[in-house]
């Protein structure tokens, strides 16, 4: 137990530091004591209960949900936002949160892979401001961006706009995301600019992806890069619940490999795991099963979603004796 004189000095130093807002150097000058003594007294003031530090999160933050998601699904980081249970509103709110995340984390040496035909990614880029601190980062399209001319502008805008915000170069993948035959894909893979884009897949450090349900979104459907109803039903019969860049997986996250895979021009799921960060931006009731599969498969390691989806995912948290994820995506958890 400290002597009363020491307690008195502890209280005085703590009041000046926490109450009056003085820096340690200013306290040193005022009380004529060494700065190391100030540091020691502040530390001992906490130990003695003179100072109690509490964190009070502002309303609208869901740190408990974020921590629970990270723990339950082995995520590097989770970001949970408030939103109404309406798909269009969820997309806008997730886009705004993802924009801020990227503005604060992208770096000049990053090679950013971005998927096409994702409403959430489009909302993200539309919400972003220029990022001088990431000047020179490269942006690569990781799912073929050619489709219905009325919708194709979205895929091109997505990649080029992000590159502009980073003052970097854009590498487009000038091919459809899904072609009609294996032979058509082989022809496309001989094109110079397609090969240049694919060659960059293994260099991607940050991948930005949406997570799709089996039933395609309005944007994807309008692009023409979709499979027929019969083909989708075949995927369902094999247990598929969702996709990332038209690469399908089941409820435990295991890839569902069918001949349809040979008609897709996009990054492979295994190549995603080479990236340090794979950022999945998705939410809503319609996509919950697909999101859970992506999380169990560890195909993403940073997840941005809405509160209601986060709560559903936690209620369906994995049972270690039942759910056996495939190997995890690369990267250690970022300090927050």
If you search the block for the tokens 């997730």, which residue do you land on? 94
Length, in residues, of the chain: 336
20's tokens = 């009056």
Neighbours of 132 (CB within 10 A): 10
pLDDT at 313: 98
Give the separation between CA 105 and CA 107, rounded to whole angstroms. Answer: 7
Burial of 56 (C-beta count, 10 Å sphere; 0-12/13-18/19+): exposed
Tell me the pLDDT of the chain (336 aa) as tens digits: 567 778 878 888 998 999 889 999 999 988 888 889 999 999 999 988 888 877 665 667 788 999 999 999 999 999 999 998 899 999 999 999 999 999 999 999 999 999 988 889 999 999 999 999 899 999 999 999 776 666 556 778 889 999 999 999 999 999 998 899 999 999 999 999 999 999 999 999 999 999 999 987 666 666 656 688 899 999 999 999 999 999 999 999 999 999 999 999 999 999 999 999 999 999 999 999 999 999 999 999 999 999 999 999 999 987 765 555 444 444 444 433
Burial of 261 (C-beta count, 10 Å sphere; 0-12/13-18/19+): middle
Question: What's the number of CA atoms in the CB half-sphere (13 Å) around residue 260?
Answer: 26
pLDDT at 181: 94
pLDDT at 225: 60
251's tokens = 């409820």
Query: Helices 149-165 & 119-127, crossing angle to 10 degrees?
Result: 40
Give the separation between CA 10 and CA 2, rounded to whole angstroms. Answer: 10
What one-character DSSP code corresponds to residue 176?
B
- CA 317 from chain centre, in angstroms, equals 19
Among 3.40.50.1360, 1.10.1790.20, 2.60.120.10, 1.20.1440.230, what is the CATH number of 63-315?
Answer: 3.40.50.1360
- Beta carbons of 89 and 306 less than 8 angstroms apart: no
pLDDT at 299: 97
- Beta carbons of 318 and 246 less than 8 angstroms apart: no
pLDDT at 149: 62
- Order of strands across the sheet with 77-81? 77-81, 302-306, 277-281, 206-209, 111-114, 138-141, 170-171
58's tokens = 């502002």
CATH 3.40.50.1360 residue ranges of the chain are: 63-315
Rounded to 5 degrees, φ, ψ at 80 are: -120, 130
pLDDT at 218: 67
Helix (H) or strand (E) holding 140: strand 138-141
pLDDT at 335: 39
CATH 1.10.10.10 residue ranges of the chain are: 4-47
- Beta carbons of 298 and 275 less than 8 angstroms apart: no
Among 1.10.10.10, 2.40.37.10, 3.50.50.60, 2.60.40.1930, what is the CATH number of 4-47?
Answer: 1.10.10.10
Model-level pTM?
0.80
pLDDT at 333: 42
């Amino acid at each position: 137990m400290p002597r009363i004189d020491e307690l008195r000095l502890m209280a005085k130093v703590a009041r000046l530091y926490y109450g009056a807002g003085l820096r340690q150097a200013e306290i040193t000058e005022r009380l004529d004591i060494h700065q190391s003594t100030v540091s020691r007294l502040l530390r001992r003031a906490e130990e003695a209960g003179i100072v109690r530090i509490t964190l009070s999160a502002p309303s609208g933050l869901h740190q408990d949900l974020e921590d629970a998601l990270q723990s339950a699904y082995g995520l590097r980081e989770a970001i949970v936002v408030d939103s109404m249970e309406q798909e269009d509103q969820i997309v806008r709110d997730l886009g705004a949160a993802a924009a801020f995340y990227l503005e604060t984390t992208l770096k000049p040496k990053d090679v950013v892979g971005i998927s096409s035909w994702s409403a959430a990614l489009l909302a993200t880029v539309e919400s972003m401001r220029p990022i001088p601190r990431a000047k020179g980062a490269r942006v690569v399209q990781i799912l073929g961006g050619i489709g219905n001319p009325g919708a194709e502008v979205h895929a091109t805008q997505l990649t080029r706009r992000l590159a502009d915000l980073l003052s970097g170069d854009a590498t487009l993948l000038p091919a459809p995301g899904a072609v009609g035959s294996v032979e058509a894909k082989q022809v496309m893979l001989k094109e110079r600019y397609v090969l240049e884009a694919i060659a960059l897949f293994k260099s991607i450090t940050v991948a930005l992806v949406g997570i799709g349900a089996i039933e395609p979104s309005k944007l994807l459907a309008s692009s023409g890069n979709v499979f027929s109803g019969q083909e989708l039903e075949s995927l369902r019969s094999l247990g598929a619940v969702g996709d990332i860049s038209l690469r399908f997986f089941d409820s435990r996250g295991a890839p569902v490999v069918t001949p349809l895979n040979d008609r897709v021009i996009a990054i492979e799921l295994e190549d995603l795991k080479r990236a340090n960060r794979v950022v999945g931006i998705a939410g809503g009731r319609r996509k919950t099963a697909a999101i859970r599969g992506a999380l169990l498969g560890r195909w993403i390691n940073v997840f941005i979603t809405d509160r209601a989806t986060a709560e559903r995912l936690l209620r369906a948290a994995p049972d270690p004796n039942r759910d056996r994820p495939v190997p995890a995506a690369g990267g250690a958890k970022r300090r927050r």
